[in-house]
A and B are shown apart, each in its own frame.
Chain A
Amino acid sequence: MSRTRTERLVNLVICLLSTRRFLTAAQIAATVPGYEHDPEDPRDHEAFQRKFERDKAELRDLGVPLETGTPSAFDAEPGYRIGHREYALPDVLLEPDEAAAVGIAARLWQHAGLAAAASSGLAKLRAAGVEVDPQATLGVEPVVTVDPAFGPLTSAARARRAVSFAYRTPEGDAPATRRLEPWGVVCWQGRWYVVGHDRERRATRCFRLSRIVGNVRATGPEHAFTPPEKVDLISHVARWSGPVEHTGRGTVLVRPGRAAGLRRWAVEALPGPDGDQLTIPYSDVDRLAGTLVGYGADVLVQAPLELREAVIQQLKEVVARHEPLAVGT
């Protein structure tokens, strides 16, 4: 955009903000510098109309609320104006500690697009008179990263448009196309998920954003669905990872000075002549067995029997899988 176009657009905003009546394109052309043309010359007039259409699109892109209406009972042509109330950021009165929090929040994003949006938002708050201390800290700095799918999915959720994307699970061979009505995006335990209605499965589903391959495509019209009222997005994601009860107790013998990681989980540790006896709480036998196998010959399970057998079974499999290759054949 050239300097003259930028100048014309600023003048267009000032002109439309200053009028209460809707102004027709012809009236705007007569007042805003840069729109001079001969309305009688079809080519010149057409060039003006294209220019004016581009300018309107540019303002709407920027978020300027351009109203369209009928200028008067005698005009068939549409007119334009910008309502001051709709244009202006409402008063934001922030206490110094609140302004500091907003300033810190605006610096959190590592994603270029969101970082730019946060800083232009902050510039608007400054223009509304908010003073932001750039040195303020809150003691803990959250580093917020998002997956590339975050932008398209939040936009689609806001517009209530359906999306489709290729989704790859670690267990799957190839990405599969999923079609979703996205209700919203959730950050749970440091990972991002989208929750919505899966059109093929006809059920509520969550998808991890990091598993989305390639672009998210918004399909179909806006306002194509209505999310359930008072939907708790977090609960849909959290359902699969609730707290686990560690009611089981395993007794293991551990070589002195070894298996520091295991000792941290022990609820009891008794030193003995053959090693230290640890009591380890657990919920899943095979999972604890896997951890114990990781410590190899530094650990020996005493009880319960099912844990001992699970460990022996896993050790046998490890040996079988890692047999040395026959040499020289």
Chain B
Amino acid sequence: MTAPRTPANRASADRLGRLLNLVPYLLARPGIAVAEAAADHGVSERQLREDLELLWVCGLPGYGPGDLIDMALDGDRVTITYDAGIDRPLRLNPDEALALVVALRMLAETPGIGARDAIERALAKIENAAGDQAGAPVEVRLPANAERLDAIRAAVERGRALQLTYYTAARDETTQRVVDPMRVLMVGGRGYLEAWCRRADATRLFRVDRIDAFTELDEPAAPPVEAVPHDVSDGVFHPTADLPLVTVRVGRGSRWITEYYPCEDVRRDGDEWVVTMRVTDLGWAQRLLLGLGPDVTVVGPAELVDRIRAQAATALDQYAAPASTLRTPQ
């Protein structure tokens, strides 16, 4: 990334780059609609017309007719008739080369993706075009559980509703449900199926590694109009204020949970840390926190503390009994 700049500087530097790019862009597309050229450059039609006006008075030393950039504006369409020597776009700069090359490497590494061959060919050509800038010091390796993801993607592409056998970690249960697939995603190294869940009557993200089995149904996938994809740009789990708040004291050895699970607050207290996090389900919190190890103490809510103590005490009683067997719950 280049040094930080003020937004105004950035905008005008962007404009210079766009102007230099616009000439070869238009040259390659005689008679293109102004609106289309504007959309391809991410600016308004009005801005693009202002750009064209500016280019019109630029040209070669001499600056007479025949030296200046010339174009024919026919209503909504434009054709460059003289390019004054800007007949090619500028080379990719290091940031552009990095952004494209790394994104293509990501695509090529994404398990279950189609057209891998086209991605590899495109990557080779972009690296070649980037020349010296191609050696992006970035390597990518994503998990290789490609088979299941591949099967799910193929099923989604066939456009059928799916019957899933799905394990829900929050409630520790495996359920059957019929879903209308919407898309397959990779977020943070994990595969997800996003679908309309007919059981929950809502859009859900299903972790591919927790789909234990699936069958394609004999009916088309038909997500209703209210099925809106999640915004996953900053992760998959967005705790809301209505979820229960759990507070635990952790020692050094278990502080990793603050990095692994989103926390509301982490506060130092003597040799320990007081961690507050929102959880979707207290049962899930119980399973996680019971088994974390000797330097974790649950502080609240009181209901969770009681449950954890009661569970552990009952489990110990079972081991103490001579027959050592599971007791019938009271």
Residues of A at under 8 Å CB distance from B? 1, 3, 5-7, 9-11, 13-15, 17-18, 31-33, 58, 61-65, 84, 86-95, 97-102, 104-106, 108-110, 113-115, 117-129, 138-145, 151-152, 154-155, 157-158, 170-171, 173, 182-191, 210-211, 233-234, 238, 253, 255, 258-261, 263-264, 274-275, 289-300, 302, 308, 311-312, 314-319, 321-324
Contacts and interface: CB of A to CB of B under 8 A. Distances in A.
Which applies to chain A's interface (DSSP): helix, strand, loop or mixed? helix
B282 interface: no
Given A94-B125, A101-B118, A123-B40, 7 more contacts: A3-B54, A31-B61, A86-B91, A139-B156, A154-B98, A186-B138, A294-B286
Interface in B136-194: 136-143, 149, 153, 156-157, 167, 169, 172-174, 183-191
B93 interface: yes
Nearest to B287: A294
Interface residue range, chain B: 35 or more
A14 B84 contact: yes
Interface string B21-57: 1101100100000000000111000000000001101
Nearest to B311: A296
B119 interface: yes
The residue among A32, A101, A189, A259 with the most chain B CB atoms within 10 A of its own CB is A101
Contacts of A259: 172
A88 B89 contact: yes
Contacts of A9: 16
Contacts of A13: 20, 86
B138 A154 contact: yes
Contacts of A88: 87-91
Contacts of A98: 118, 121-122, 125
Nearest to B10: A116
Contacts of A324: 309
B293 interface: yes
Given A61-B13, A139-B114, A191-B189, A117 B157 contact: no
A140 B186 contact: yes
A128 B28 contact: yes
B256 A124 contact: no
A101 B119 contact: yes
A182 to B, nearest CB: 8
For the complex of A and B, 6 pairs with smallest distance between CB atoms: A190-B189, A296-B311, A1-B12, A121-B96, A88-B88, A294-B291
Contacts of B188: 143, 145, 190-191
Given A58-B16, A102-B104, A191-B189, A117 B85 contact: no
B267 interface: no
